[in-house]
Chains A and B, each alone.
Chain A
Amino acid sequence: MLYDKGLLILKRVMLAIPTFFGVMVISFCLTRTLPGDPAVYFAGVLADEASIQQVREQLGLDRSLPYQFLAYCQNILQGDFGRSLSTGQDVLDEIRTRLPASLELTLLGLFFALITAIPLGIIAALKPNSWVDHVCRILVTCGASTPIFFSGLFLMFVFYYLLGWAPSPIGRLDFIYLEPLHITGFYTIDALLVGDLETFKAAFSQLILPSTTLALCALAPIARMTRSSMLTSLESEYVKAAKANGIPAKKRVYLYALQNASLPLLTVIGLVFGFLLGGNVLVEKVYSWPGVGSFAIEALIASDYAAVQGFVLIMAILFVSLNLLIDIFYTLLDPRMGRNE
Chain B
Amino acid sequence: DTRQETLIVLSGASINSLDIHRTGTNRPSYQVAVNMYDRLVSFGIKESANGSLKYDSSTIKPELAESWELVDDGMSYLFHIRKDATFWDGSPVTADDVKWSFDRAISLGGFPTVQMKAGGLTSPEQFVVVDKHTFKVKMFKPSKLTLPDLAVPIPMVINSTLAKKHATKDDPWATEYLHKTPAGGGAYMLERWVPGQQLVYKRFDDWKSGDLPKMKRVIVREVPSSATRRALIERGDADVALGLPSKDVKELMSYPSLKVSSSTIDNTIHALGLNMNFEPFSKTKVRQAIAYAIPYQEIFDVAAYGMGKPMWGRDTEKATSILWPQPFPYNTNLEKAKSLLAEAGYPNGFEVPISINLGFSQWTEPTALLIQENLKAIGISAPVNKIPGASWRTKALVEKGLELHLKNFGGWLNYPDYYFFWAYIKGHLFNSMNYDNPEIKSLVDSSLHMEVTDSQYDTNVKRLIDIATDEVPMIPLWQPSLDVVMKSNVSGYVNWFHRQLDIRAFSKE
- Name A residues whose Cβ lies closer than 8 Å to a Cβ of B: 34-37, 40-48, 51-52, 54-55, 84-89, 94, 97-98, 153, 156, 160-161, 164, 168-172, 175-176, 179, 285-288, 290, 294-295, 298, 301-304
- Contact string against A for B residues 91-116, beta-carbon threshold 8 Å, 1 for contact and 0 otherwise: 00000000000000000011101110
Is B358 engaged at the interface, CB distance under 8 Å to the other chain? Answer: yes
Can you name 11 A-B pairs with beta carbons within 8 Å?
A34-B391, A41-B390, A42-B23, A43-B109, A47-B23, A47-B111, A55-B23, A88-B16, A89-B195, A171-B198, A171-B223
Q: Which residue of B lies closest to A55 (CB)?
A: B23
- Name B residues whose Cβ lies closer than 8 Å to a Cβ of A: 3, 6, 8, 10, 14, 16-17, 22-27, 29, 109-111, 113-115, 179, 194-198, 219, 221-225, 227-228, 231-232, 234-235, 237-238, 358-359, 387-395, 398, 429
Once A86-B14, A168-B235, A290-B194 are accepted as A-B contacts, the answer to whether A51 and B222 lie under 8 Å apart by CB is no
**Do the beta carbons of A46 and B115 come within 8 Å of each other?**
yes
**Do the beta carbons of A97 and B14 come within 8 Å of each other?**
no
**Do the beta carbons of A43 and B228 come within 8 Å of each other?**
no
**Do the beta carbons of A88 and B17 come within 8 Å of each other?**
yes
| A168: chain B residues within 8 A (beta carbon) | 231-232, 235, 237-238
**Do the beta carbons of B398 and A40 come within 8 Å of each other?**
yes
**Do the beta carbons of B23 and A169 come within 8 Å of each other?**
no
Q: How far is the CA of A323 from the CA of B231 in the complex (A)?
A: 40
Q: Looking at A153, A168, A176, which has the most chain B CB atoms within 10 Å of its CB?
A: A168
| B10: chain A residues within 8 A (beta carbon) | 170
Least distance between A284 CB and chain B CB atoms (Å): 9
Q: Looking at B8, B110, B234, which has the most chain A CB atoms within 10 Å of its CB?
A: B110
**Do the beta carbons of B393 and A41 come within 8 Å of each other?**
yes
**Do the beta carbons of A303 and B223 come within 8 Å of each other?**
no
| B111: chain A residues within 8 A (beta carbon) | 43-47
**Do the beta carbons of A288 and B228 come within 8 Å of each other?**
yes
Q: How far is the CA of A23 from the CA of B224 in the complex (A)?
A: 30
Least distance between B24 CB and chain A CB atoms (Å): 5
Q: Which residue of B lies closest to A93 (CB)?
A: B195
| B395: chain A residues within 8 A (beta carbon) | 35-36
| A43: chain B residues within 8 A (beta carbon) | 23-24, 109-111
Least distance between A188 CB and chain B CB atoms (Å): 17
Q: How far is the CA of A44 from the CA of B154 in the complex (A)?
A: 13
Q: Looking at A84, A164, A175, A303, which has the most chain B CB atoms within 10 Å of its CB?
A: A175
**Do the beta carbons of B235 and A44 come within 8 Å of each other?**
no
**Do the beta carbons of B196 and A44 come within 8 Å of each other?**
no
Once A44-B23, A303-B390 are accepted as A-B contacts, the answer to whether A51 and B113 lie under 8 Å apart by CB is yes
Q: Which residue of B lies closest to A152 (CB)?
A: B225
Least distance between A12 CB and chain B CB atoms (Å): 35
Q: How far is the CA of A289 from the CA of B395 in the complex (A)?
A: 31
| B235: chain A residues within 8 A (beta carbon) | 160-161, 164, 168
| A35: chain B residues within 8 A (beta carbon) | 387-388, 390-391, 394-395
**Do the beta carbons of B195 and A285 come within 8 Å of each other?**
no
Least distance between A278 CB and chain B CB atoms (Å): 19
| A156: chain B residues within 8 A (beta carbon) | 228, 231
Once A41-B393, A88-B179 are accepted as A-B contacts, the answer to whether A288 and B224 lie under 8 Å apart by CB is yes
